[in-house]
Amino acid sequence: MLGRTVITWWGLCLLLLLSACAPRTVRREVSGGPEAVARVYLEAWARNDLAAQRGALVEVPADFDAQHAKWRQALGVVASRFEGLDVESEDDTVAVVLFRGVHTLRGLGDWEVQSRLRFERRANRWVVRWTPEVFHPEARAGDSFSRLRAWGPRAALLDTTGAPLTVPGEVISIGLYPGRVRDAAAVARALQSQLGVDPARVQAVLRSAGAQPEQFFPLIDVRPERYQQVRPVLAPVPGIFFRKKTARLTPAEGFAAHTLGRVGEVTAEALQALGHPYQAGDLVGLSGLERAQERTLAGSPSGEVRLVRRSGEGVVLHRFDGAPGTPVRTTLRRDVQAAAELALMDVTMPAALVAVDTATGNVLAVTSRPLGEALHRALTGRYPPGSTFKVVTAEALLASGLKPDTRVDCPVEATAGRRRFRNFESEAFAPSTLRQVFALSCNTAFIQLSARLGRSALEDAAHRFGFGVRYDVGLPSPGATFPQPQDDADRAAASMGQGRVLATPLHMATVAAAVDTGRWHAPRLLADAEPGLEESLRAGTAEALRNLMRAVVMEGSAKSAAGIQGLMGKTGTAEFGTLVPPETHAWFIGLRGGIGFAVFVEGGGVGGRVAVPLATRFLQELDAMQSSTR
């Protein structure tokens, strides 16, 4: 029949299908004037409820949802709030409501916009006539939004003189294209032999579910000179590739690596900890002082919100003023740090060397090995200090009235409680003086002497050397502990730095330093930090301790270093573990020329045989550097 529309069964199905695909619109009758409707609309916008927003419109633009999605994505909008509603004009049919939108942009901050909603009165209710000016009063149909965001140059970490320890420079990133690897085992062998890359890391990249065949996966960054050394071996291996990039460089490869730290792309964990204004893809400090001082060194990013006209013209709507990073001055002395690095250069076992200024506690050098391990054992590793703790015990003995020339026995064995103690390698010495048993590190003599001390004398002496004292170095460091001895056997073990006594290499460097001035200073790594806590040794004990420590070098367990002028120190061979005979850590703490230092080799063996030669090299390298600058 003419004039009649016929809807077939297929046509009805098509209409139903199309309606199912259309965006859901929530129609909500809102009583009241334009301001009330505006409030409902803006509340829906704030919670990103597009269905409710569409329900308030007189006419829904076809690209309404798409425009909002593009606006959010282009500007990185993570939240919006609206306030300051005010009816600008109103008559019987149209109205305009002003409002203030505050949009939080990821990685930049809040962008405040004064804008307006236009209303029409339809069927006795107010509805929104949507236009792009809702986003911004200058926006028109066909316009879009964009943003810029950039960090300024990262500020440097400085040495104690104010000279930079970190500067931008070129490195070569060595990595893999998984799709071009022919022999995974050959790739792993080459990278391990030339650069020490763990084969497990290579396998992890190749087996990763998300690994794209033509995506570059960096494994290690090297300086140009190192690249030239390894390139002839690595370049012929299919799958290994090289890329140049800019990175933070220190004075030498590995220089104070654990302390200064490294910079890289922010991890999910770091992003959560840092919060605003950081976002995925930012470069941040991932370890060491680079991480601890991230906000100071990085400053804050600058940015712009732009309106891009249909013609391509850009209009800046808002600017975010960033802040430059501020340099951080450390207490590190470049020559002392370089000497420490050279001293441990050939050490393959876990090790640490720390040097501090005896007058202030300022950390002059701190280095940990191995370089490829995250643990900064110089600051965070706590170990039994062994016989280096006899410096503390000797101070307690001297404070009780003993003198360096007091006669002392050194038998093969001594008993405390129900436990028998022996000297290292079951040595025994003829009756001698406190000076001599200290120099030779006689355990049995110190066990017998400490048993005569008052109940709290040893604990008090430990406290004078900072044991049990909390301090803020500038990086995490747990210091040293001296738990109250539980019985005579526990006290005997504690008197020679065993049992439950624990200390970091950093702390033992401060123990040596305290002997120079008679005052223990809490260590600090940041030059502008407030001076730390101080404790005074008992009057007259520091001079006597220097006498004892000089004897260790001249005639005792460190006499291999007797050629180092002015050196004083104490060796330590600290037992640990459950093996029989027990494994031992090698220690030496020393003092010379206003510098107190500690050398530690984990599981290294005998302090006099392992740690003392490293201390000797440290001082020789330092002397050579100072001579070359005169």
Helix (H) or strand (E) holding 110: strand 109-122
Segment 380-403 mean pLDDT:
98
pLDDT value at position 19? 41
C-alpha span between 397 and 458 (Å, rounded): 9
* Token pair recorded at residue 90: 């109103």
Q: Which of 267, 294, 320 is the last residue of a domain?
A: 320
> For 297-342, how does the pLDDT look when each residue is reduced to its tens digit (9 = 90+)?
999 999 999 999 999 999 999 999 999 999 999 999 999 999 999 9
pLDDT value at position 29? 58
pLDDT value at position 209? 56
> For 44-67, how does the pLDDT look when each residue is reduced to its tens digit (9 = 90+)?
999 999 999 999 999 999 999 999
Phi first, then psi, for residue 609 (nearest 5°) are -95, -25
pLDDT value at position 123? 87
Check which CATH number belongs to the domain holding 432 and give it: 3.40.710.10
Segment 464-493 mean pLDDT:
96
Total number of domains constituting the chain = 3
Residue 29 within a domain: yes
Q: Which of 294, 320, 346 is the last residue of a domain?
A: 320
How many C-alpha atoms does 552 have within 13 Å on its Cβ side? 28
C-alpha span between 330 and 362 (Å, rounded): 9
Residue 447 within a domain: yes
pLDDT value at position 14? 37
Average pLDDT, the chain: 92
Helix (H) or strand (E) holding 415: strand 413-416
Segment 503-532 mean pLDDT:
97
Query: Do residues 246 and 378 share a domain?
Result: no
Query: Do residues 136 and 184 share a domain?
Result: no
Residue 51 within a domain: yes
Check which CATH number belongs to the domain holding 67 and give it: 3.10.450.100
The burial class, CB within 10 Å (0-12 / 13-18 / 19+), for 19 is exposed
Helix (H) or strand (E) holding 318: strand 314-320
In this model, does residue 477 exceed pLDDT 90?
Answer: yes
Number of C-beta neighbours around residue 60 at 10 A: 17
**Whether residue 370 has a cis bond before it, omega within 30° of 0:** yes
CA angle (269, 270, 276) in 5-degree steps: 120
Query: Do residues 484 and 597 share a domain?
Result: yes
Q: What is the 3-state secondary structure (H, E, C) of 72-108?
A: HHHHCEEEEEEEEEEEEEECCCEEEEEEEEEEEECCC
Residue 382 within a domain: yes
> For 576-621, how does the pLDDT look when each residue is reduced to its tens digit (9 = 90+)?
998 988 999 999 999 999 999 999 999 999 999 999 999 999 999 9
pLDDT value at position 9? 40
Q: Which of 19-33, 323-337, 381-395 has the lowest mean pLDDT?
A: 19-33
CA angle (224, 225, 227) in 5-degree steps: 60
Contacts for 622 with CB less than 8 Å, ≥ 6 apart: 335, 336, 339
Residue 12 within a domain: no
In this model, does residue 488 exceed pLDDT 80?
Answer: yes
- How far are the Cα atoms of 203, 304, 568 from residue 243, in angstroms, in the given order? 21, 31, 49
CB < 8 Å & 24+ apart, contacts of 67-70: 67/132, 70/144, 70/145
> For 68-86, how does the pLDDT look when each residue is reduced to its tens digit (9 = 90+)?
999 999 999 999 999 999 9
Q: Which of 288, 320, 352 is the last residue of a domain?
A: 320
Phi first, then psi, for residue 555 (nearest 5°) are -145, 5
- How far are the Cα atoms of 4, 108, 143 from residue 9, in angstroms, in the given order? 16, 55, 42
Residue 150 within a domain: no
DSSP bridge pairs for 176: 217, 240
Query: Do residues 609 and 483 share a domain?
Result: yes
pLDDT value at position 6? 37
- How far are the Cα atoms of 173, 261, 283, 470 from residue 151, in angstroms, in the given order? 22, 20, 9, 36
pLDDT value at position 474? 97
CA dihedral for 46, 47, 48, 51, sign (positive or negative): negative
Query: Do residues 313 and 340 share a domain?
Result: no
* Banded pLDDT at 177 (limits 50, 70, 90): very high
DSSP bridge pairs for 323: 300
Query: Do residues 108 and 178 share a domain?
Result: no
If you compute the radius of gyration of the chain from its CA atoms, what whole number of angstroms results? Answer: 35
C-alpha span between 398 and 392 (Å, rounded): 10
Beta carbons of 538 and 419 less than 8 angstroms apart: no
Residue 604 within a domain: yes
Query: Do residues 304 and 438 share a domain?
Result: no
3-state secondary structure of 359: coil
Query: Do residues 119 and 97 share a domain?
Result: yes
DSSP bridge pairs for 575: 584
Residue 325 within a domain: no
Range(s) of the domain holding residue 194: 157-320
pLDDT value at position 30? 59
Query: Do residues 396 and 276 share a domain?
Result: no
C-alpha span between 110 and 104 (Å, rounded): 4
Query: Do residues 127 and 192 share a domain?
Result: no
Query: Do residues 124 and 166 share a domain?
Result: no
Query: Do residues 166 and 269 share a domain?
Result: yes
C-alpha span between 457 and 360 (Å, rounded): 26
